[in-house]
Amino acid sequence: MHVRTLCLGALALGDASGYEIKKLFEDGVFSHFSEASFGSIYPALTKLTDDGLLTCQAHSQEGRPDKKVYSLTDLGRAAFQEALSQPIQADKYRSDFLFCLIFANQMPTLRVSEILDNKLKELKEEHNRIEAEGIVPNTPSSDLVKEFGAHVTLSMIEFLEENRLRIEALGCETGACLSTPCEAVG
Amino acid sequence: MHVRTLCLGALALGDASGYEIKKLFEDGVFSHFSEASFGSIYPALTKLTDDGLLTCQAHSQEGRPDKKVYSLTDLGRAAFQEALSQPIQADKYRSDFLFCLIFANQMPTLRVSEILDNKLKELKEEHNRIEAEGIVPNTPSSDLVKEFGAHVTLSMIEFLEENRLRIEALGCETGACLSTPCEAVG
DNA sequence: AGGGGTATATATAGGTCTGATATAGAATAT
DNA sequence: ATATTCTATATCAGACCTATATATACCCCT
């Protein structure tokens, strides 16, 4: 899904500036399953406005740059509806943590414990963020999506805690793996 | 994590061609938490070879293009060790499915059922793939990572099945949402 | 026998996106 | 007082994915 479509969706929740859209992806409703950078949001908004899918109204502010508030046009609303009716791309899950775990036999046990603790900490923070946050909008849809996120995050935490000993046992004994790297395959 | 590092990791499991590395990300050990395309793998292998982290031996084959088999050099092995000792980037989870669900109130109920069924089908296939496959290598590490994947996938399936009715209830009544789009926010 | 599909195998152009950086005043913290 | 964070927009280099090009072999169906 293109950043242009993500922006259309963000604006379907209400008018917003580029900065505010970015916050939706950083701390808001979209934060645990979607992302977009300034470098893609700003050009996307310009393009969408040029194509007549958005209108832009500059609110002049004291001291700060003009706040450009974007709104969906009827054309934009229709384009988003169209996007929602398209086939949905498969989810993508990227984990450098799991990638590194594959090579745990080349790490000192201490390092394995460290990355495991970091991952658990990260997951617990994420879980708290999802449950605690007073994210707007608070619709039945966003509640469900948040519950999904909390459920999955908790499931990861459970797995890692239940298998802590097995995971730590994957590491080499101190230092040994550096001098004689264990081959994973013959 | 750069594709170059991913390639180093793939080759730490044994010598391989670009095509074989791609398969590791498509069907192999890395498939459910990492990805890389030909368009990034081939340039990465060239760059790594130029930098002395890999050596390349061309195996001539009848009919097919030469198979270029890459191997880690000592420098490459060290570079990968170095990469494993770096701080690990946070996991990334992208889901167009969840993004679309936020807008379920703008979809006909039938469409909501459809995307839910598709997602469940996709998840069950993924779960079977992880459990069934005779992925090589079959190390304690890769077993653990596979179990993690199976556990999380199952947890998603459970959530969606338990909440099927609630999710379907998010949709609009037939067609109504197209003529008068429900505003998610005032 | 021939057409279509899949698998092997490398390579690149085009478009998209991230990450870093620049700018600049306000508010908050130390 | 000073430093950091927040608001707010913008751009560019580098990284990456998608689609395509090029070849050949093998299998299935008709």
Q: Return the closest-CA partner of residue B107 out of B166, B163, B164, B176.
A: B176
Q: Say what the pLDDT of residue B180 is.
A: 43
Contact flag A170-B141 (C-beta cutoff 8 Å): yes
Cα B179 versus chain centre, distance: 38
Distance CA B79, CA B88 (A): 15
pLDDT of B181 > 60? The answer is no
Interface probe, candidates B155, B156, B166, B170, chain A, greatest A C-beta count within 10 A: B155
Nearest CA-CA partner of A44 in A13, A74, A79: A79
- Least CB-CB distance to B97: which of A88, A101, A136? A88
- Tell me if A150 sits within 8 A of A130, measured CB to CB: yes
Give pLDDT tens digits for B120-129: 999 999 999 9
Which of B91, B101, B142 comes nearest A97 by C-beta? B91
% helix, strand, coil for chain A, step of 5: 60, 10, 30
Burial code (b: 16+ CB inside 10 Å, e: under 16) for B27-63 equals ebbbbbbbbbeeebbbebbeebbeeebbeeeeeeeee
- Amino acid letter, residue B114: E
Provide the chain B residues 128-147 that lie in CB contact (below 8 A) with chain A. Answer: 136-137, 139-142, 144-145, 147
Task: Decide: CB of A17 under 7 A of nucleic strand D.
Answer: yes
Average pLDDT, stretch A32-54? 97
Which residue among A101, A111, A149 places its CB closest to the CB of B144? Answer: A101
Question: What span, in angstroms and rounded, lies between the C-alpha atoms of A13 and A133?
Answer: 18
Whole-number percent of chain A with pLDDT over 70? 87
> With 0-12 CB in 10 A as exposed, 13-18 as middle and 19+ as buried, what is A11?
buried
| Mean predicted confidence (pLDDT) in A149-178 | 89
Tell me: pLDDT of B175 over 50.
yes
Q: Which residues of B122-159 are buried (b: 16+ CB within 10 A; e: fewer)?
A: bbeebbebbeeeebeeebebbebbbebbbbbbbbbbeb
At residue B105, does pLDDT exceed 50? Answer: yes
pLDDT of residue B135 exceeding 70, the answer is no
**For strand D, which nucleotides have at least one atom less than 7 Å from a protein CB?**
7-13, 15-20, 22-25
Amino acid at A15: D
Across residues A83-89, what is the average pLDDT?
Answer: 95
